[in-house]
Structure 1
Amino acid sequence: MDNELETRYIKQPFSLASSGMYAGGLVGVVLAALLGFFFPIISAPAIAILVLMAGMLALLGYKYQQGPELTFTLTFMHLQFHSHQGGWLARWKNIDRIAQASVGNDGWYQPLPWVGIRLKDYGEFVEAICPRVASKILIEQRILLVMAHRNMADPPYQLEDILFDDTPFITPSGQVLKGLQAMLANRMRYNRAFLGYDFFISEDFLDRPAADFAGLARRYLAAA
């Protein structure tokens, strides 16, 4: 296999804000301790709350300083998303198209900081996705559907009817999806109708621009 297509790990870019959080938390702990020592009239519970808040800020900053977290793995078989809430996996053989997403308005298309993925079979993806991640997709990616709906002169659906449509969804294999799975499958169907893709990856999770990540993924897709 081409060396460029070996297993690759994508991590979120490191943020300098984490260093500020860590330093600010440590300074806050010291200042709270000094206040308690030099101004004994200040109530002990108030000092304890300040120390606790500053300590939590320092711990959070320290955690982020340990390095960026893994968000995606690309292998010769699949594209996989990782998060604290869970993740999802899409086999290259089940991906029809992947590219930077865009939204149209009067014949003009504005590229978006999102990567769009169009699948061949919803069932395989939806049945395997973590429920918490499915919920996050529904909530965080609805802005794209709203934008596309508003830019369409004569939309075929009312926005309030499609954002959280939980009508049972039947896959090509005959599997009936209900509840959260049906809601995600229906959202993917509406996304395809309005945006051309089923679900999306935010540039915020990537270590490179959306267009570059889409280009990298297409090389794996072509080799699958």
Structure 2
Amino acid sequence: MQFNVTPHAKRNALTFCGLALLLFALIVFIHLVRDDVPGGVTVVIGATSAILLLLGIGKLIEPPVSLSITPEHLTYLHRRGQWQISWDNIIRYDVPRVTRILDLEDAPFLGFRLHNVDEVLQSISPRLASALLFEQRQLLTMALRHERPDQSDYSQYFDIPDRYVSPNGVVYKGLIASFAVRMAQLRELLGYDLYVSANALDRDVYEFKAHLQKLQASRNEAAGEDE
């Protein structure tokens, strides 16, 4: 049985595009009925329309499915590629948290800690590795700010080497190596290797975690019956 996740962000694509076209039509109409429209009004409405249109198009070109879940694998789908992990490779998954003064703050991601990172590194494309390195900079910055507040030099976290040797002794180079280093950094700071943004999910991240636990339990029960 396969369960596909359609992200919330995808559903808002047409809304953003519709609002952009509505604003564009509004500014055209205003200029048709009046000759004394301030330039600042035109710039603000035009810029807002353009931003909304770009956001809408960006959401439209995202894959319609962000996660595909089967009894064997979890596959993350991105416009730049995909990664896949087997259920048996997952140690645990949860919402990462950072220390904030005397409290804990949730990061808007679902994190996965793995037994073997080579499963991901040997299948991920350089294009997706590059995209995730960029997208996860904010997560890394958040983790450093709260987990390493007394550290004065963060260059080791951002000047990422392009060579990496996995715990199993496999050597990686280029963007794959840089992504592997980022995985190790985030594991050190937050406890997880892979991260799926809350925007890629179809429900609240904690609700999705509970749903994933149910799917995993059903899988384990089916596997037990087959033995």
- Pairwise CA distance, 1:163: 2.4
- Pairwise CA distance, 1:161: 1.0
Is 1:86 the counterpart of 2:85 in the alignment? no
Q: Does the 8 Å contact 1:94/1:121 carry over to 2?
A: yes
The match for 2:157 among 143, 162, 170 is 162
Structure 1's unaligned 5+ residue stretches are 1-5, 36-53
| Deviations 1:110-168 (CA, angstroms, capped at 9, x unpaired) | 11221111111111101101211111111111211211212135667942112242253
Aligned equivalent of 1:96: 91
Aligned equivalent of 1:216: 211
| Deviations 1:19-63 (CA, angstroms, capped at 9, x unpaired) | 3346667x59x98xxx9xxxxxxxxxxxxxxxxxx9xx6xx77x9
* Closer/same/farther in 2, CA of residues 158 and 186 from structure 1, 3 Å limit: farther
- Pairwise CA distance, 1:18: 3.2
Is 1:130 the counterpart of 2:129 in the alignment? no
Between the aligned residues of both structures, percent identity stands at: 29
TM-score by length of 2: 0.72
Structure 2's unaligned 5+ residue stretches are 33-49, 221-227
Letter of the 1:134 partner, please give it: A
Q: Does the 8 Å contact 2:183/2:193 carry over to 1?
A: yes
| Partner Cα separation in structure 2 for residue 73 and residue 187 of structure 1 | 24
TM-score by length of 1: 0.73
Helix, strand or coil: the match of 1:151? helix
Q: Give me the CA root mean square deviation.
A: 3.5
- Pairwise CA distance, 1:68: 7.8
Q: How many residues matched? A: 197
Is 1:10 the counterpart of 2:5 in the alignment? yes
Letter of the 1:217 partner, please give it: L
Aligned equivalent of 1:185: 180
Aligned equivalent of 1:19: 18
Aligned equivalent of 2:167: 172
